[in-house]
Structures are given as structure tokens and as C-alpha cells.
């Protein structure tokens, strides 16, 4: 391994710019970090070069731990976007600089310099000053300078970004040739996916400081795992379909479900990707054999040189929800992008407004279903804080957000909605917006009935909200995040758990959500003082150790605490230590009526710690209530919490 990055984390003002990034890069590999601006890719390069200090993690270059070495001793070659040539030195002096620092004898230096000038195709230009060269030439010199001292790794920070298209093409070629010739391990940072596809052996896609996927260009394009990568690379059609009995259903269409074993959560909902080239347009239904999605209207045609792209709008299909390309505000239509060869276009000419049959002949299902958040938007006082926290978590967790506008009664709500769309718009797939004219609990209930969500996020006023929260908790199978005021991005989570199956669910969902945030999780079990101490201690210890291990496999730093005393007091005491900024509570199991009631310990904890954002996790056990009641096996630790 040439480069090993182990859990790199870098925060600016508490916000992670690089969030728990681990990578292994092979000898001689051309590795590309791809992401939009602000995704943390350049920061990673700076961390490797030691130009920026890191907060956590380790960096190994050729087995050498350089984490705490100064830049000078890391033996990296670095090429900057704006060339950064030494302006007052000649080209020759620039290239020789690293060697003269190392006191390499003059004759050797000159030989190396001439060799490099030859390599970059600029022999005889050594006496020029940087100002006298074109951008492309300057970047070639910067490359030569970075290679002169034979670095262990070559780091390229958007080296072609400042050049115009034609020179970029040219330089891209020579970059690849030179890299292959010297076989030097290279990381290139870019936001240009064409460049990434062209150059990379492997690509890592980054977003908001997190490494989403690492794979070869072909695999990333054809078989992305996440929604972000699917829609970021190339153009993509993305929708939510249904999986059941070994088949994927998209409205009337069905496909064999090949990736079933790879997906592990929520078997029903499945995200389906199909590329524009997987779409066929036809005048008659029979031409499409058995892959007909529907009949739609041509909305847009654009000519892109070799291929023609056609965007078709289909009426809504039951059980199918469009994710990408984004649909209009509140619309349930399906939009399909397709491309056609000139021959196809000639055989079946289309213009805007024409009707056409749309068929899909190949799909790929995403492994990672992604979390979905439901965020009711209204004029309540805490709405701003709620939107902010929801946005921050959603961005880090790559969650899809649905904005639910309910009981709309004044213009202010529209402004809030606009603001929310603006705040949630950056870095996220465009949030879906739904408008309903019911009370908050009824709107949520109707919404989740149609389209289940993982988490419902609410502003929380402890003085009046118990009934509403209970109603919302009872309206579907979602978890609840309560935001009682302005919150920082959670980085330390307290999870009080009871020993048993529901406790496992709390831990698992906490892990699933907070691993994206790079947050640390502390599990806490409180043993009542009248219990058989030793037996309980041992059971709790074993259970919590398992929990910590589970979280560790998700890449989360976790630890546990066992306290003896009264749950409410001990939990409050821990929270008051000031270390934690989020609390996870298991929701109580539903009672005999089948309804969840918050009366008792959960509400007491919420009331006495009302300044903390609280995640109420619903146990999957709720769905298996009958079994549970029969077995009657829940130990009575923290029974109130459940």
C-alpha cells in the first residue's frame, strides 16, 4: 500500500470538513478524489501533504507514519490549481529548487532538470520566467517541479481547473502518460467527472466531508450504491420502486431482483437507477416488447453532438416516486431522461409536445436505501432551529428530506417553506415538498401512510406537546427527532438502553444515523438499586459490550457506562456533565390498546432535560408485540423507559 488514510477527521469551527475518511491506495495507482466544491477533497490533499493539521486519524505513506511529520519531511510532490510557480525564478530554477534544498550537486541537478524538461515537452525553455509562459506550460513546469525530488506520492489539486478546454484535454493526456511512465502513486482532486473517468484507476466520491463510495469509474457509473453517487455521475433517472418476492416493481414494470442479497434494510422500498441510455422511446406500445413504463409527453429536446437527449414527462404511477431528475414543486409526475443515437432520432423524429411510449430495458437497484426525513413546516416558534438541525443532519447523513407543509393558513408559512427549501437545497437531493390541509398529526399520518419515512423531525415545546408527539409516534413506524431550540451538530450522543431486544434496536438505529455525523456514542444502563446487583451488572456488561462492538463495526467510536440508582436521576446527571448534545431514548412499547403512551419515565426524562435534542427510537419490536407479550422476557431494568 502506498497511501493509507485511517479515519481522518478535520473540523473547522466544529463542523467536520473531512469526516472519518479511510482509504487505501495501491502503489502506482492513479486515484481521483471527486466531489463538488466544499466536499473536503482538497482538505484531504492538504492533510496528506501536512499543509493542514488534522484533528484525528493517521496517515501512512509507503508504510511510514507521517501523521505528525512536518510537510518538509513527507516527501510528497504537490501541484496546485494556480500553478504556484516561484515568480522570480526561471523555469530551470523552479524545477531545480527542491534539489538545491537537498544540496544535490549542480551537475546532477542540471541533468535531472533537463530530463524533466524533456519529459514535459519543454526542452530549451529553462531560461524563461513563469510570466512568459502560457497557463498550460506553467502547469507542466509545476508538475516537473513536483517530480524533481522523486516524491513518494504525487498530489494534484485540480491541476487542470484553471485551463481552457482544449489545453485541458492535451494536458490530461500527458498527465496520464507521465504518471504511467514514472509509475508514481498519484491522487488527483477534481470536480470534473469527465476528467475523473478519463484519468482514474479508481475514484472516490466525496460529499460534505464524507467518502461515499470508492470504485473503478465503470463500476461507479453502472453500479453506484448511493443516491448521491448515482445522480452525481452522469445523468441519471432515479426513482423509488417496490421490491417483493425476488422482483422489482416500477409501476407496471417488473425486473428480476438481482441485488437482493446486497440490500439489507427495508426490503419494500427500493431505489432504482436507470441511465438515459437504458430508456427506449417508441411511437407504439408493441415496439417496446415487455418493458413499458408509460405514455408521456416530450418536454425538452437538446442536441449534444453525438447524441440527442429527450426529456419525457409521464403521469404519476401508483407506487412509484420520482427522485431524479427533480420534479416540480409538489408534483407527482415522473420525469425520464433518455438519449438516442442519430439513427434512432431519424427513424422516429420527435419534437417538444409529442407523445411517446417510454420503455426501460435495464435497471440497477441501489444497495444503500438512504435515510428519509419528514420535516413538517409550519409557523411554530422553533421552526428555524428545527430546519437548521434537520438540514445539517440530512446533509451529513445523505438523507432525503420531505417538507410537509400542513394546515396552511397564512403567508408567513410560504416564506418559511421557501427558506427551508433554500437551506435544505444545498448539497442534498432536491427536497420533496408536499402540502396538506390538516392538523400536524393528521398531515403526518396521511403522509407516512402513503410514503413511510425513517425519521420525523419536530420542534419541541415540552409545555404542550405530549399529546401531539404521541399521536405522531402512533401514526406510523418512524422515529422521532425532537428539537427544543438552537442545537449544534450532534457529536456526542447519550443512549440510555435497557437490556433486551428493544435496546438493540435503539443502538442500531442510533448507529445508522449518527455514524454519518462522526459522532461518538455512549451507552448507559441504569440498574435499580434494589436489583440483584451482581447478576444484573454482568448481564448489563455483556449486553453493552455487544452494543459497543455493533457500533464499532459501523465505524463509530462508542463506549458504555453502568450506573446504579434511579434511571431519571442518573440520566439527568450524565446529561448535566455537559459532554453530550443529543439524547436517544427508546420509545415505550405500545400498551394493550396498541397505542404508545409517553406517560411515565420517557416523558419525565424529556421534561427534565428539555434543552437537549432528543431522538425517540421506535423499536421494531412494536411490530412484533404479540410475540413479545407471550415471551414476557423483558427484564425490568429501566422498564419505565420501555
Partner 1 sequence: MSLTSINQQVKPVKSTPWGRYSIRSLALTYLIVFLIIPILVIFQDGLKEGLSGLWYQITLPAALHSLKLTLWTSAMMTVINTFMGTLTAYVMVRYVFPGKNLLNAIIDLPLAIPTLVTGVMLVIMFGPQEALGSWFNSNLGISIIFAPPGIILALLFITFPFIVRSVQPVLLEMDRAQEDAAATLGASSWSIFWNITRPYLTLPIASGALLSFARAIGEFGAIVIVAGNIPLLSQTAAVYVYGQVESENRLGASAVSLVMMAIAFSSIIFVNYLQKKSKRVG
Q: Residues in the site for partner 1, rule: CB under 8 A?
A: 49-51, 70-74, 76-78, 80, 82, 84-88, 97-98, 101-102, 142, 145-146, 148-149, 151
**In the complex, minimum distance from the CB of residue 78 to partner 1, in angstroms, rounded to a whole number:** 4
Helices (H), 59-199: 91-101, 106-119, 135-148, 165-182, 193-199
**CA distance linking residue 251 with residue 265, whole number of Å:** 21
Helix (H, G, I), strand (E, B) or coil at 622: helix
Which residue, 145 or 313, has its beta carbon nearer to partner 1? 145
**In the complex, minimum distance from the CB of residue 88 to partner 1, in angstroms, rounded to a whole number:** 5
Which residue, 45 or 540, has its beta carbon nearer to partner 1? 45
**CA distance linking residue 520 with residue 35, whole number of Å:** 26
Measured at the CA of 483, the angle between CA 478 and CA 484, to 5 degrees, comes to: 140
C-beta of residue 507 within 8 angstroms of C-beta of residue 615: no
> What H or E segment, with its residue span, contains residue 361?
none
Which residue, 97 or 348, has its beta carbon nearer to partner 1? 97
Which residue, 81 or 237, has its beta carbon nearer to partner 1? 81
C-beta of residue 612 within 8 angstroms of C-beta of residue 581: yes
Which residue, 42 or 338, has its beta carbon nearer to partner 1? 42
**In the complex, minimum distance from the CB of residue 1 to partner 1, in angstroms, rounded to a whole number:** 21
**CA distance linking residue 446 with residue 322, whole number of Å:** 19
Respond yes or no on whether the N-terminal peptide bond of residue 73 is cis (omega within 30° of 0). no
Which residue, 84 or 554, has its beta carbon nearer to partner 1? 84
Return the half-sphere exposure (C-beta side, CA atoms, 13 A cut-off) of residue 426: 10
**In the complex, minimum distance from the CB of residue 159 to partner 1, in angstroms, rounded to a whole number:** 12
**In the complex, minimum distance from the CB of residue 77 to partner 1, in angstroms, rounded to a whole number:** 7
* Beta-carbon count within 10 A of 27 CB: 12
Closest to 428 (Cα-Cα) out of 351, 362, 347, 371: 371
**In the complex, minimum distance from the CB of residue 97 to partner 1, in angstroms, rounded to a whole number:** 6
C-beta of residue 31 within 8 angstroms of C-beta of residue 5: no
**In the complex, minimum distance from the CB of residue 43 to partner 1, in angstroms, rounded to a whole number:** 13
**In the complex, minimum distance from the CB of residue 30 to partner 1, in angstroms, rounded to a whole number:** 19
Which residue, 87 or 576, has its beta carbon nearer to partner 1? 87
Supply the DSSP symbol for 193.
Answer: H
C-beta of residue 215 within 8 angstroms of C-beta of residue 204: no
Which residue, 130 or 209, has its beta carbon nearer to partner 1? 130
Amino acid at each position: 500500500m502506498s497511501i493509507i488514510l485511517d479515519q481522518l477527521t478535520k473540523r473547522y469551527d466544529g463542523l467536520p470538513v473531512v469526516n472519518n475518511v479511510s482509504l487505501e491506495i495501491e502503489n502506482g495507482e492513479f486515484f481521483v478524489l471527486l466531489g463538488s466544491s466544499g466536499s473536503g477533497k482538497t482538505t484531504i490533499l492538504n492533510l496528506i501533504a501536512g499543509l493542514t493539521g488534522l484533528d484525528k486519524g493517521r496517515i501512512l505513506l509507503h508504510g511510514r507514519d507521517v501523521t505528525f511529520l512536518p510537510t518538509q519531511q513527507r516527501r510528497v510532490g504537490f501541484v496546485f490549481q494556480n500553478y504556484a510557480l516561484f515568480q522570480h525564478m526561471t523555469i530551470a530554477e523552479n524545477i531545480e529548487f527542491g534539489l538545491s534544498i537537498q544540496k544535490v550537486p549542480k551537475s546532477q541537478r542540471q541533468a535531472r532538470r533537463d530530463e524533466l524538461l524533456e519529459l514535459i515537452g519543454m526542452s530549451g525553455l529553462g531560461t524563461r520566467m513563469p510570466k512568459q509562459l502560457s497557463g498550460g506550460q506553467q502547469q507542466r513546469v509545476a508538475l516537473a517541479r513536483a517530480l524533481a525530488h522523486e516524491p513518494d506520492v504525487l498530489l494534484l489539486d485540480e491541476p487542470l481547473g484553471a485551463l481552457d478546454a482544449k489545453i485541458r484535454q492535451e494536458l490530461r493526456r500527458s498527465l496520464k502518460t507521465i504518471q504511467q511512465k514514472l509509475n508514481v502513486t498519484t491522487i488527483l482532486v477534481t470536480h470534473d467527472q469527465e476528467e475523473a473517468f478519463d484519468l482514474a484507476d479508481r475514484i472516490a466520491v466525496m460529499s460534505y466531508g464524507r467518502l461515499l463510495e470508492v470504485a473503478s469509474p465503470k463500476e461507479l457509473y453502472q453500479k453506484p450504491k448511493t443516491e448521491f453517487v448515482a445522480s452525481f455521475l452522469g445523468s441519471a433517472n432515479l426513482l423509488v420502486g417496490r421490491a417483493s418476492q425476488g422482483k422489482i416493481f416500477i409501476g407496471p414494470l417488473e425486473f428480476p431482483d438481482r441485488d437482493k442479497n446486497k440490500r439489507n434494510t427495508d426490503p419494500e422500498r427500493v431505489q432504482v437507477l436507470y441511465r438515459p441510455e437504458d430508456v427506449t422511446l417508441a411511437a407504439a406500445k408493441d415496439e417496446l416488447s415487455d418493458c413499458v413504463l408509460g405514455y408521456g409527453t416530450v418536454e425538452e429536446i437538446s442536441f449534444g453532438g453525438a447524441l440527442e437527449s429527450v426529456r419525457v414527462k409521464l403521469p404519476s404511477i401508483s407506487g412509484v416516486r420520482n427522485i431524479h431528475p427533480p420534479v416540480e414543486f409538489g408534483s407527482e409526475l415522473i420525469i425520464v431522461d433518455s438519449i438516442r443515437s442519430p439513427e434512432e432520432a431519424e427513424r422516429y423524429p420527435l419534437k417538444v409536445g409529442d407523445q411517446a411510449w417510454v420503455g426501460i430495458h435495464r435497471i440497477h437497484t441501489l444497495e444503500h436505501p438512504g435515510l428519509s426525513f419528514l420535516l413538517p413546516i409550519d409557523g411554530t416558534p422553533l421552526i428555524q432551529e428545527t430546519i437548521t438541525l434537520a438540514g445539517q443532519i440530512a446533509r451529513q447523513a445523505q438523507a432525503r428530506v420531505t417538507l410537509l407543509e400542513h394546515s396552511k393558513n397564512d403567508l408567513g408559512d410560504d416564506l418559511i417553506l421557501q427558506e427551508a427549501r433554500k437551506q435544505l437545497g444545498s448539497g442534498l437531493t432536491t427536497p420533496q415538498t408536499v402540502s396538506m390541509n390538516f392538523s400536524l398529526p393528521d398531515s403526518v399520518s396521511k403522509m407516512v401512510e402513503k410514503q413511510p419515512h425513517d425519521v420525523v423531525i419536530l420542534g419541541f415545546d415540552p409545555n404542550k406537546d405530549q399529546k401531539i408527539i404521541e399521536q405522531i409516534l402512533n401514526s406510523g413506524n418512524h422515529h422521532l427527532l425532537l428539537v427544543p431550540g438552537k442545537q449544534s451538530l450532534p457529536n456526542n450522543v447519550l443512549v440510555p438502553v435497557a437490556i433486551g431486544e428493544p435496546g438493540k434496536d435503539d443502538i442500531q438505529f442510533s448507529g445508522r444515523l449518527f455514524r454519518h455525523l462522526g459522532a461518538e456514542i455512549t451507552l448507559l444502563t441504569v440498574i435499580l438499586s434494589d436489583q440483584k446487583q451482581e447478576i444484573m451488572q454482568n448481564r448489563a456488561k455483556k449486553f453493552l459490550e455487544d452494543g459497543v462492538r455493533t457500533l464499532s463495526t459501523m465505524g463509530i467510536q462508542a463506549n458504555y457506562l453502568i450506573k446504579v440508582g434511579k434511571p431519571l436521576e442518573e440520566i439527568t446527571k450524565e446529561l448535566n456533565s455537559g459532554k453530550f448534545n443529543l439524547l436517544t431514548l427508546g420509545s415505550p412499547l405500545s400498551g394493550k390498546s396498541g397505542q404508545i403512551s409517553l406517560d411515565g419515565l420517557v416523558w419525565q426524562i424529556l421534561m427534565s432535560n428539555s434543552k437537549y435534542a432528543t431522538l425517540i427510537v421506535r423499536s421494531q419490536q412494536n411490530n412484533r408485540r404479540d410475540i413479545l407479550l407471550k415471551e414476557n422476557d423483558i427484564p425490568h431494568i429501566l422498564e419505565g423507559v420501555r
